[in-house]
């Protein structure tokens, strides 16, 4: 019996070619070599995710129209919504950061939830309409940029910080945002994109090159060795006519490549750019606080020191880890991965892949300080008593976060394994 082509998969993290067995309900298949979850079977995954997506859509609207928090100081009350926070940032001269905040807290979650709802509704028809493929790709692309949970932590830090000056009351928007964090997490965990992809009909016109039998590598059959190219978008592994120029995925239409194009050079470029921005991000002030008697500029580090001096050592630690340790560790880790890949090192393959996964996972949390600044600025506008202006440091800091996130996405973890594969045998 020849297995259906959908059931042969080259692992997206290490390129090991393997067959996915029929999965009993509630189980997952992990890559034999690197442990990457290549498939899982959740009963009723599509309907559950649809229910969660609809609930998330409602909560998203509530979270965006209700006040996130309210502040009262000497009889005056101010409140802010998520969008209002970004708008204040915009008016105070940090337009790019304001746009980034709106993208990560409003647009990316809305696109992810909205398109996901449409895709899941359409996937109930059999066969599913062809247009859901590109839409699903589009929605999954937005998911890593939806940072509601990081924003929540940022809002909490800002709240604790401001509560020393005035009474702060969390608003309905805050609770809605909390519910949104849980709903998006449940959606992401329970959703099995394979189930949607298996319903999308596609022309099976790809035929492997005739007369050119690929070599058999019994110990490590890899995609690259046996002429399979994996689509990073829908996970389909197939054998294109020309492996060096595989063109578009026959199922979802995404551009494919054996390895992410020029991954090493491009990751270096983003990394160097991030490192350059890291210097002004730390030297320039992220906030300027003006009171009746004085004006004080705060850099990221002086903000951490201030938290520590005023007894909030836990906040100092959170901001220190998110804003100083994580960006630096990310840059160093990616540089280490690039150097070892360029040296074709075969040492510690699994450890290096784990390091890469960690870098990908923690990257978004560095946005924390950007959100802290945004919501502090939005609330403390009770002039002439005190006013806070965002500084240019916050722009460079946002650039560091975005550039390192893109650098991690540009790197191809399969490159780590390629050197190890080559030692074992030839491909031609
Ligand atoms: Zn793997
Ligand atoms: Zn595809």
Q: What is the DSSP string of 362-413?
A: HGGGGGHHHHHHHHHHHH-EETTTEEEEE-HHHHHHHHHHHHHHHHHHHS-T
Distance (Å) from CA 18 to ligand 1 centroid: 9
| pTM score above 0.95 | no
Handedness of CA 297, 298, 301, 305 (dihedral sign): positive
| Ligand nearest to the Cα of 249, by number | 2
Q: How many Å lie between the centroid of ligand 2 and the Cα of residue 234?
A: 4
| Mean pLDDT on 175-198 | 91
* pLDDT band at residue 404 under the 50/70/90 scheme: very high
pLDDT value of position 96: 94
- How far apart are the C-alpha atoms of 235 and 223, rounded to whole Å? 12
Ligand 1 geometric centre to CA of 93 (Å): 46
pLDDT at 209 over 80: no
Percent of the chain with pLDDT over 90: 43
Q: Which residues of the chain does CATH 1.20.140 include? A: 263-423
The whole-number pLDDT of residue 384 equals 60
> How many angstroms separate the alpha carbon of residue 16 from the centre of ligand 1?
6
Confidence at 192, pLDDT banded by 50, 70, 90: confident
Q: How many A from CA of 202 to the centre of ligand 1?
A: 26
Distance of CA 111 from the midpoint of ligand 2 (Å): 20
Q: Is the pLDDT of residue 422 over 70?
A: no
Give the number of whichever ligand sits closest to the CA of residue 18: 1
Calculate mean pLDDT across residues 332-337.
Answer: 96
CA distance 416 to 410: 14
Spatial separation of the C-alpha atoms in residues 198 and 188, rounded to whole Å: 18
pLDDT-derived band at 248 (thresholds 50, 70, 90) equals: confident
Taking 70 as the threshold, does the pLDDT of residue 73 lie above it?
A: yes
d(CA 403, CA 147) in angstroms, rounded, equals 16
Q: How far is the CA of 116 from the centre of ligand 2 (A)?
A: 17
In DSSP terms, which residues pair with 157 in a beta bridge? none
Q: Under a CB-based contact definition with an 8 Å cutoff, are residues 142 and 108 in contact?
A: yes
- Does 4.10.280 match the CATH number of domain 263-423? no
Q: How far apart are CA 373 and CA 286, in angstroms?
A: 7
Check whether 310 has a pLDDT greater than 50: yes
Q: From the CA of 310, how far away is ligand 1's center (Å)?
A: 48
pLDDT of residue 134 exceeding 70, the answer is yes
Residue 27 confidence (pLDDT) above 80: yes
pLDDT of residue 2: 36
Q: Can you read off the two tokens belonging to residue 282?
A: 């730390």
Q: Is the separation of the CB atoms in 258 and 229 below 8 Å?
A: yes
**Closest ligand by atom to 140 CA:** 2
Ligand nearest to the CA of 206: 2
Highest-pLDDT range among 309-313, 376-380, 394-398? 394-398
Distance CA 151, CA 101 (A): 9
Q: How far, in Å, from the CA of 212 to the mean position of ligand 1?
A: 26
- Cα(54) to ligand 2 centroid in Å equals 26
Query: Is 201 or 326 the better-scoring residue by pLDDT?
Result: 326
Q: Which ligand is nearest to the CA of 193?
A: 2
Q: Does the pLDDT of residue 428 top 60, yes or no?
A: no
Per cent of the chain over pLDDT 70 is 92
Q: Which of 78-82, 128-132, 408-412 has the highest mean pLDDT?
A: 408-412
Length of the chain: 428
β-pair partners for 80: 69
Evaluate whether 373 touches 289 at the Cβ level (below 8 Å): no
Distance of CA 182 to the CA centre of its chain: 16
Predicted pLDDT at 331: 96
CA 60 to centroid of ligand 2, rounded, Å:
30
Between 234 and 73, residue with greater pLDDT: 234
With a cut of 70, say whether residue 347 has pLDDT above it: yes
Statement: residue 1 has pLDDT above 80: no
What confidence score (pLDDT) does residue 427 get?
40
Residue 234 has pLDDT above 70, yes or no: yes
Residue 391 backbone dihedrals phi, psi, to 5 degrees? -105, 175
Cα–ligand 1 centroid distance for 284 (angstroms): 43
Ligand 1 centre distance from Cα of residue 53 (Å): 30
CA of 235 to the centre of ligand 2 (A): 6
Q: pLDDT at residue 199 above 80?
A: yes
Instruction: Kindly state the average pLDDT of the residues 4-30.
Output: 83
Ligand 1 centroid–CA 34 distance in Å is 4
CA of 418 to the centre of ligand 1 (A): 12
- Tell me how far apart the alpha carbons of residues 345 and 228 are, in angstroms, rounded to a whole number: 24
Instruction: Decide which of 106 and 42 is more confident.
Output: 106
Of all ligands present, the nearest one to the C-alpha of 13 is: 1
Question: Of the segments 132-146, 262-276, 314-328, which one has the largest average pLDDT value?
Answer: 262-276
């Amino acid at each position: 019996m020849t297995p259906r082509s959908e059931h042969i998969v080259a692992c997206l993290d290490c390129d090991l070619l393997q067959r996915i067995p029929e999965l009993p309900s509630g189980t997952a298949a992990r890559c034999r070599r690197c442990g990457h979850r290549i498939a899982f079977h959740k009963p009723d995954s599509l309907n559950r995710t649809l229910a969660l997506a609809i609930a998330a859509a409602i909560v998203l609207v509530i979270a965006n129209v209700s006040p996130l928090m309210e502040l009262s100081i000497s009889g005056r009350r101010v409140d802010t919504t998520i969008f209002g926070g970004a708008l204040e940032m915009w008016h105070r001269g940090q337009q790019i950061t304001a746009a980034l905040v709106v993208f990560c807290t409003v647009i990316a979650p809305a696109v992810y939830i909205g398109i996901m709802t449409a895709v899941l509704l359409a996937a109930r028809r059999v066969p599913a309409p062809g247009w859901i493929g590109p839409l699903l790709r589009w929605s999954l692309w937005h998911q890593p940029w939806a940072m509601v949970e990081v924003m929540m932590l940022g809002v909490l830090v800002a709240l604790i910080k401001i509560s020393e000056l005035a009474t702060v009351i969390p608003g309905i928007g805050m609770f809605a945002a909390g519910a949104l964090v849980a709903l998006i997490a449940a959606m992401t965990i329970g959703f099995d994109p394979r189930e949607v992809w298996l319903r999308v009909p596609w022309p099976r016109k790809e035929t492997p090159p005739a007369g050119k039998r690929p070599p058999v590598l019994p110990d490590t059959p890899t995609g690259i060795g046996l002429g399979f190219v994996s689509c990073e978008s829908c996970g389909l592994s197939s054998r294109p006519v020309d492996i060096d120029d595989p063109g578009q995925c026959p199922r979802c239409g995404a551009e494919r490549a054996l390895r992410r194009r020029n991954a090493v050079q491009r990751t270096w470029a983003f990394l160097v750019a991030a490192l350059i921005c890291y210097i002004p991000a730390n030297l320039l002030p992220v906030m300027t606080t003006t009171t009746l008697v004085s004006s004080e500029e705060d850099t990221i580090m002086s903000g951490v020191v201030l938290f520590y001096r005023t007894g909030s050592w836990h906040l100092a630690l959170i901001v220190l880890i998110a804003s100083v340790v994580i960006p630096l560790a990310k840059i160093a880790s990616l540089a280490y991965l690039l150097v070892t890949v360029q040296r074709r090192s075969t040492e510690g393959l699994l450890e290096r892949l784990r390091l890469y996964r960690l870098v990908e996972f923690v990257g978004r949390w560095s946005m924390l300080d950007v959100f802290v600044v945004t919501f502090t600025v939005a609330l403390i506008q009770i002039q002439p008593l005190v006013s806070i202006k965002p500084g240019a440091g916050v722009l460079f800091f946002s650039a560091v976060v975005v550039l390192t996130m893109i650098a991690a996405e540009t790197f191809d973890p399969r490159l780590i394994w390629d050197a190890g594969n080559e030692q074992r045998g030839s491909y031609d």
